Amino acid sequence: MLKKVVASTVGAGLILFGAQAFAGEWKFNPRACPDLVEDRYDRIEDRRDRRVDYGRRDRREDRHDRRENRRDEAITVCPIRAFYYEPDRRELRRAAHHGHSYGRGRYAARPPLAYDRRIGMPYRYVKGRKIYIRG
């Protein structure tokens, strides 16, 4: 019985007081992705166009535009520069101590990616949405 108590106490101590791995995280900048910027402008234009005219021809054109916008939004392709790595503050301190510099706290590199064989492009999930990487 005593061995189990000692083993569980030691195990809990290792888990609770063990050294954590301090690492930064990969972030996504949607403003650096031309595809997402274009989708946003299309939505704004659709809202503005919907208020202008209500004729039969205009409604047909609006439906066509919305269908085209849904098709464009289905697949998002962004350049690699839309992803950046933001190091943890402890990582920054450690790098400064060893003479390395991350610049202004961020640097661009290649994030860990998965590969979609169907489309033939690497991708990364961002907020539940697949973002394909070009370049």
DSSP 114-125: EEETTTTEEEEE
- DSSP-derived letter for residue 80 is G
Measured distance CA(56)–CA(115) in Å, rounded? 45
Measured distance CA(88)–CA(55) in Å, rounded? 56
Distances (CA, A) of 119 to 75, 123, 132: 10, 10, 9
Measured distance CA(5)–CA(87) in Å, rounded? 39
pTM score, whole prediction: 0.62
Distances (CA, A) of 23 to 10, 27, 69, 82, 91: 26, 13, 38, 20, 7
Q: With bands split at pLDDT 50, 70 and 90, how would you rate the model's confidence at 35?
A: very high
The span from the first CA to the last CA of the chain, in angstroms, equals: 60
Q: What is the pLDDT of residues 81-106, one digit of tens each?
A: 888 888 777 776 666 656 555 555 45
Measured distance CA(135)–CA(131) in Å, rounded? 13
Contacts of residue 99, defined as CB under 8 A and 6 or more positions apart, other chains included, come to none
Compare 27 and 91 and report the one with higher pLDDT: 27
- Provide the percentage of residues in the chain whose pLDDT is more than 90: 10
Per-residue confidence (pLDDT) for residue 5, from 0 to 100: 67
Residue 114 and residue 124 in contact, taking contact as beta carbons nearer than 8 Å: yes
Segment 42-53 mean pLDDT: 83
